[in-house]
A and B are shown apart, each in its own frame.
Chain A
Amino acid sequence: MVRTLLQFGLFLLLAAVICFSFITPAPQQQIGEASRIFYYHIPMAWVTVLAYLINLIYSIRYLKTRAVLDDWRALWSAEIGTVFCLLATLSGAIFAKVTWGVYWNWSEPRMLSIFMLLLIYGAYLSLRAALANPERKGLLSAVYAIFAFPAVPFFVFVFPRITESLHPAESVLDKNLEMQMSGPVLWIFLLSLFCFTALFFWIFSLGNRLQRLRLAVNGGA
């Protein structure tokens, strides 16, 4: 009963986000109508990072507990993360085309870091596909997920520092993106962020429930 109410509430809130994101004035006047994508693009990128962090947490946990469910949770959050990562990359490329005139710009650290996540997710999933033994699969992919992690903060924090000396003009791009977040824009954005996060956890828990049932039926743990 409570679950149904929560799901219905999430549906109403997401519907509200969609409505308000289109009927209010565009959040950024210079970019115009296209800047509405920001209500969706940033939450998607946030969910991508969140999914990767959860994957990392369960990978570390798996190394300790060796529980089948922890491995499943790591995999499932990586799978959801990949979908959101693809969506964030695509919407980001469209956004970049409208604001900067190009679909892709390698000196933009945010684009690089989302691309890095896409590569890591891809490599993680292809490693899992290559392994046959379930225990080795869980163990080796957990180690890989932990090992690949340091590359992500590099592109977020370190990379902008070393490229600025080479391309000083690129930092101008960031100024175009700055939004005056105030009043309704901020509220819709925060609501959208909340809804996407809730959506992620809902999908995540659905998969976990399904896997628990599967294990119970097959006589597992």
Chain B
Amino acid sequence: MNRSSTWITKAAAVFTKDLRCELRTRYSLTTLAMFAFTTLVVVSFSVGQGGLSPRVQAALFWIIVFFSAMSSLAGAFVKEEDTGTAQTLRLYASAPVVYAGKLLFNMLLLFLLSLLVTPLYIIFMNITQVNWAILAAVIALGVVGLAGATTIIGAIVAQAGVRGALLAVLSFPVLLPLLVLAINGTTAAFDMSGWTNAIDSIRLLAAYGVIMITASSVLFEFIWNG
């Protein structure tokens, strides 16, 4: 077996291990779903019956996604520290491999979250016209960027004593560009203004994801191995 294929196999193994643990307890998934569902209901209950501009609708959507993501994205690393399995994982694979596995797992969680939230949001908020192609592109790239930026911060937070709100505090400055771009893109999807308005945001979202994942994979080494 050559070197690159072991690399991918090991990352896939880390990912499958996390997925299997998750399917046994369903802790992250349920927390994420319930958190998203609660905020969604509160928002639509209070302001959902129409009259909101596409920009406000887009902003509320990303606020729901952001805070839901903050509720459980640190989990992947916190769990390893809590159960004392981090050391074994260090023996098994090098830092970039562990990072890749955890990143994939976080992406999957966020992808499932957006699959749950998006249709419910559109139904509850009574949004009648949606440019689905733009919305799908913005959400997909937004999820990649969100996972790319928060996975490494999750690893930092897992090593700090107090965890509670630290992930949100540390993530917010880093995620602010992503939120601005995603809200811009989603506005274009909701007000049917077409690709010309959305394409800049979509390109920059892609660039953001690439920068975050590259920077993380370099810096993760220092966090993981000390």
* Chain A residues with a Cβ under 8 A of chain B: 63, 116, 119-120, 122-123, 126-127, 130-132, 135-136, 139-140, 142-144, 146-148, 150-151, 154-155, 158-159, 161-162, 165-166
Contact = CB atoms under 8 A, between A and B. Distances in A.
A126 B176 CA distance: 18
Contact of A162 (B184, B216, B226): B184
B200 A162 contact: yes
Contacts of A131: 159-161
B12 interface: no
Given A116-B176, A123-B172, A127-B170, A146 B160 contact: no
A144 B160 contact: no
Contacts of A116: 173, 176
A135 B222 CA distance: 12
A130 B160 contact: yes
Contacts of A123: 169-170, 172-173
Listed residue (A139, A148, A151, A159) with the most chain B CB atoms within 10 angstroms of its CB: A151
A127 B177 contact: no
A143 B174 contact: no
Listed residue (B161, B176, B211) with the most chain A CB atoms within 10 angstroms of its CB: B176
A162 B173 contact: no
B200 A161 contact: yes
A contacts with B: majority SS:
helix
Contacts of A127: 156, 160, 166, 169-170
B180 interface: yes
B215 interface: yes
Given A119-B172, A165-B197, A147 B161 contact: no
B174 A140 contact: no
B72 interface: no
A96 to B, nearest CB: 20
B152 interface: yes
B223 interface: yes
Interface in B146-192: 152-153, 156, 159-162, 166, 169-170, 172-174, 176-177, 180-181, 184
A140 B200 contact: no
B204 interface: yes
A147 B159 contact: no
B57 interface: no
B201 interface: yes
Given A119-B172, A155-B177, A162-B204, 13 more contacts: A116-B176, A122-B169, A123-B169, A123-B173, A126-B169, A127-B166, A130-B160, A140-B159, A148-B173, A150-B215, A151-B174, A165-B200, A166-B184
B216 A147 contact: yes
B222 A162 contact: no
Contacts of A136: 159, 226
Contact of A150 (B160, B166, B211, B223): B211
B222 A143 contact: yes
21 contacts: A116-B173, A116-B176, A119-B176, A123-B170, A127-B170, A130-B166, A132-B161, A136-B226, A140-B156, A140-B160, A143-B223, A144-B156, A146-B215, A146-B219, A147-B174, A150-B215, A158-B177, A158-B204, A159-B177, A162-B184, A162-B204
Contacts of B152: 143, 147
A63 B219 CA distance: 10
Contacts of A159: 177, 180
B169 A139 contact: no
A199 B159 CA distance: 37
Given A130-B162, A132-B161, A165-B200, A140 B223 contact: yes
A57 B166 CA distance: 25
B189 to A, nearest CB: 15
A170 to B, nearest CB: 15
A191 to B, nearest CB: 33
A77 B97 CA distance: 34
